[in-house]
Amino acid sequence: MALLDLDPKVVRTARKLAAKAAEPVVSIARAHTTVAVERATLRLAGITGADTTHRAGDVPWVNRVVDTVREHCGLEHGAAVPVFHALREHNLGTLTELAEATAAGQIQFTVPGAKDFARAEKAARTAIARGMRAVDRNRATRDKMVAKIGDPPQRPWIYLIVATGDIDEDVVQAANAARAGADIIAVIRSTGQSLLDYVPEGATHHGFAGTYATQENFRIMRAAMDEVSKEVGRYIRVTNYASGLCMPEIAVLGGLERLDMMLNDSMYGILFRDINPIRTFVDQRFSRQVHARAGIIINTGEDNYLTTADAVDAAHTVTVSQLLNEHFAHEAGLPDELLGLGHAFEINPKVPESFRMELAHALLARELFPDAPLKWMPPTKHMTGDVFNGYLLDGFFNLAGVLTGQSILLVGMMTEAVVTPFLSDRDLAVENVRYVLNAAGGLREDFRPAPDGFIVKRAHQVLGEAVDLLERIVDDGLLNAIADGTFGLMKRPADKGKGTDGVVEKAEGYANPASDLLDEGATK
């Protein structure tokens, strides 16, 4: 039920402006590839493992192959055709054999002539389609498990973080969290992994403030949560991070190991990790196509803007980013039910009427995106170390989530900004959520902001400011807006940032069967 009486014409204008602002960036993304997209493509084709003999440490075979293809003949035509042409030319049986021969200096990659090009492209498509079918089977398995075991009985779903650095210890904490009431387990990534231009191999036990995102770690957590799902009688979802320099690869690995949610924002890596904007937009388009195919809910990162910019003055930038994220997601084939747009409870609690303002912002997001599984983020910026005050503030956050119909509630920790939360802290935090859901779970049906009251007026003000900003972005260009510090006060020029050298403009004869299959899947 709409409570804000938003003007449909203003809402339509906002979406049209967001589409207009995003379209030049979509065109750029379509015209370019990256080393990460090409690696993700070969991962779908079946390449796994790493060169364990390298003196500087293990190097994934997929990195070895793509880097060598680029050195020999460039990536302007894609990596798949040169790779599968070489596989046939050298009469090798597997991509692993090809990778080993590449490392030994025995392979010279080339872009073949028309006849051999067509043959190699067909072979690549066959192998990549096999990977796509694995992703499709995982989606079907999830649907069957949800139908058999059941979803959590109420929304919002409770989202809890584990971050030990050791995948085996993560499993222990995740299982206990699910037994205590968590519906979604998010495995926080090791600090700095988003800036690695490769995905580590195998199970890991040495992450920093988080655990490395690897295919084996995904498999271990998903298998453990399948067992716990049967025990607790509801399907426990698993989340990780498809972001950073390996965004497309991690999206593929998430699809291959049946992850259910992945952090995937169109601008987060640009703003907060200083990753090149073009690299990010190219990578996020491919990764979102993979998420759409896999049925993975994405979580966007608008909440982070309010940790660097003021949550009152910059509230409209969150709405603008949500509208842009929505357009980028739809263009890549993601439907609303997989679009977990982010927003946060980050207004300074000393601001008069801060709670009413938080309700206005949260309700605006809910009514602008009625079919999206919104992810509501807890207070962090103004957590002072006073755990009693923090616990109360988290309670207000939980209540705002209930009143405004949020879909996913990330559990706030009263020890935020003090320590990495202990298990006891997490248990108390979940108790806070459970108390609010039990005591006020149906309160939304009684919540009716006054038509001319503070909440409604504030929501209209933020939407109006968002439209004004979108008009300026359309005039100036989204890449220029990002360079000027429009979002989160971070200034990120389009020709700067990490990973810039991994962007490649496509040649006229560029071929990527993975992109073709994903495009075809989006039309079904």
> From CA 162, how far away is CA 185, in angstroms rounded?
7
- Active-site option among 235, 375, 394, 498: 375
Distances in whole angstroms, Cα of residue 25 to Cα of each of 77, 264, 323, 334, 484: 21, 17, 14, 17, 16
End-to-end CA distance of the chain: 31
Q: Quick check: helix, strand or coil at residue 17? A: helix
- Active-site option among 170, 265, 303, 425: 303
- The H-or-E segment that residue 322 falls in is helix 315-331
> From CA 396, how far away is CA 385, in angstroms rounded?
17
Q: Among candidates 302, 301, 328, which has minimal Cα distance to 314?
A: 302
> Does 375 qualify as catalytic in the annotation?
yes
> From CA 314, how far away is CA 458, in angstroms rounded?
13
Say if CB 242 and CB 278 are below 8 A apart. Answer: no
> Does 268 qualify as catalytic in the annotation?
yes
Residue partners of 66: CB distance under 8 A and separation at least 6: 35, 38, 39, 42, 75, 79
Buried b (16+ CB within 10 A) or exposed e, 29-50: beebbbbbbbbbbbbbbebbeb
Backbone conformation region of residue 189, classed left if phi is above 0, alpha if psi is from -120 to 50, else beta: beta
> From CA 358, how far away is CA 362, in angstroms rounded?
6
- Active-site option among 268, 283, 391, 394: 268
Q: Among candidates 355, 344, 464, 354, which has minimal Cα distance to 406?
A: 344
> From CA 99, how far away is CA 3, in angstroms rounded?
59
> From CA 483, how far away is CA 509, in angstroms rounded?
32
Q: Among candidates 256, 339, 266, 255, which has minimal Cα distance to 305?
A: 266
Residues designated catalytic: 268, 303, 375
